[in-house]
Amino acid sequence: MIRYLGCAVGALLALMPLAIEAKPFTDAAGRTVELPDHIGKVLAAGPPASVLIYAIAPEKLAGWVREPKEDEKPYLMEAVRGLPTYGRLTGKGGTANIEAVLAAKPDVIIDVGTVDATYASLADKVQSQTGIPYVLIDGSFGKSAETLRSLGVMLGAEERAGKLADYADETLSELGATMAAVPADKRPRVYYGRGPDGLETGLAGSINLEILEAAGAVNVAASSGKGSLTQVSPEQVLAWNPEVIIAASRKFASAVAADPVWSKVQAVEKGQVFIPPSLPFGWFDSPPGINRLIGIRWLEALLYGDIYKGDLKAEAREFYKLFYQVDLDDAELATLLKGALPEAQ
Task: Identify whether 175 is part of a domain.
Answer: no
The pLDDT score that the predictor gives to residue 345 is 59
Is the model's pLDDT at 82 over the cut of 50?
A: yes
The pLDDT score that the predictor gives to residue 92 is 61
**Residue 152 and residue 194 in one domain:** no
The pLDDT score that the predictor gives to residue 13 is 40
DSSP 8-state secondary structure symbol assigned to residue 41: -
**Residue 199 and residue 316 in one domain:** yes
**Residue 33 and residue 81 in one domain:** yes
Task: Identify whether 173 is part of a domain.
Answer: no
Is the model's pLDDT at 12 over the cut of 70?
A: no
**Residue 163 and residue 188 in one domain:** no
Task: Identify whether 342 is part of a domain.
Answer: no
**Residue 189 and residue 138 in one domain:** no
The pLDDT score that the predictor gives to residue 305 is 87
**Residue 151 and residue 207 in one domain:** no
The three-state secondary structure class of 107 is coil
Task: Identify whether 303 is part of a domain.
Answer: yes
Task: Identify whether 1 is part of a domain.
Answer: no
Q: pLDDT per residue over 288-316, tens digit each?
A: 999 999 999 999 999 998 888 889 999 99
**Residue 133 and residue 270 in one domain:** no
Domain end (from 168, 200, 218)? 168
**193: exposed, middle or buried (Cβ count in 10 Å: 0-12, 13-18, 19+):** buried
pLDDT-above-70 percentage for the chain = 91
Is the model's pLDDT at 330 over the cut of 70?
A: yes
* CATH number of the domain encompassing residue 137: 3.40.50.1980
**Residue 189 and residue 163 in one domain:** no
**Residue 40 and residue 151 in one domain:** yes
> In this structure, is the dihedral angle defined by the CA atoms of residues 237, 238, 239 and 245, taken in order, positive or negative?
positive
Task: Identify whether 88 is part of a domain.
Answer: yes
The pLDDT score that the predictor gives to residue 278 is 96
DSSP 8-state secondary structure symbol assigned to residue 17: P
Q: pLDDT per residue over 196-236, tens digit each?
A: 999 999 999 999 999 999 999 999 999 998 988 999 999 99
Is the model's pLDDT at 96 over the cut of 50?
A: yes
Domain end (from 144, 168, 192)? 168
Q: How many domains is the chain partitioned into structurally? A: 2
**Residue 234 and residue 142 in one domain:** no
Counts of helices then strands in the chain (DSSP H, E) = 14, 11
Instruction: Name the phi and psi angles at 277, rounded to 5.
Output: -55, 150
Task: Identify whether 177 is part of a domain.
Answer: no
Task: Identify whether 332 is part of a domain.
Answer: yes
pLDDT band at 5 (very low <50, low <70, confident <90, very high): very low
Domain end (from 168, 197, 215)? 168
**Residue 201 and residue 256 in one domain:** yes
Alpha carbon distance 309, 41 (integer Å): 41
Is the model's pLDDT at 2 over the cut of 90?
A: no
Is the model's pLDDT at 14 over the cut of 60?
A: no
Q: In terms of residue numbers, what domain contains 246?
A: 184-337
The pLDDT score that the predictor gives to residue 290 is 96
Instruction: Name the phi and psi angles at 199, rounded to 5.
Output: -105, 10
**Residue 192 and residue 163 in one domain:** no
Is the model's pLDDT at 11 over the cut of 70?
A: no
